[in-house]
Amino acid sequence: MSKTAVVVMSDPNSEGEEALGRLFNALFRTLELARSKAEVDLVFQAAGTRWPARIVAPDHPAHALYLAVQDRVAGVSCGCATVFGAAEAATAAGFTLVRDGDIPGTGGVLDLSRYVRDGYQIVTF
């Protein structure tokens, strides 16, 4: 059985619709893999840590798709969320801040290398 970590790094604050398109593709890829009974984790890193607070809003265009995969969310990188000013909003939205990798100057980050060690394919959006 395949194992995949879907990583959202796109910045919702960027100009244009590309970031929203990347988010939709990440959520849909997660849904496809979950439907096929594959092992899949959805994680938010870098500027992508700004998405969680937005996608929980019922009027957000990706909200329904998020609800379909919310049980696959493994977390939000704590250090990234702190750097990008999203930590408080992510936790207020009910997301878990992950600190399994030690990076100087941060509260710890979600360590993607653990997925590599465990045989996951990493797909970034």
CA distance 81 to 18: 21
What does the pLDDT read at residue 103? 81
CATH number at residue 17: 3.40.1260.10
Residue 46 tokens, joined: 């870098």
What are the pLDDT tens digits along the chain (125 aa)?
Answer: 799 999 999 999 997 899 999 999 999 999 999 999 999 999 999 999 999 999 999 999 999 999 999 999 999 999 999 999 999 999 999 999 999 988 887 788 999 999 999 999 999 99
What does the pLDDT read at residue 3? 98
What does the pLDDT read at residue 124? 98
What does the pLDDT read at residue 113? 94
Identify the domain containing residue 67 by its residue range: 3-124
How many domains is the chain built from? 1
CA distance 106 to 121: 26
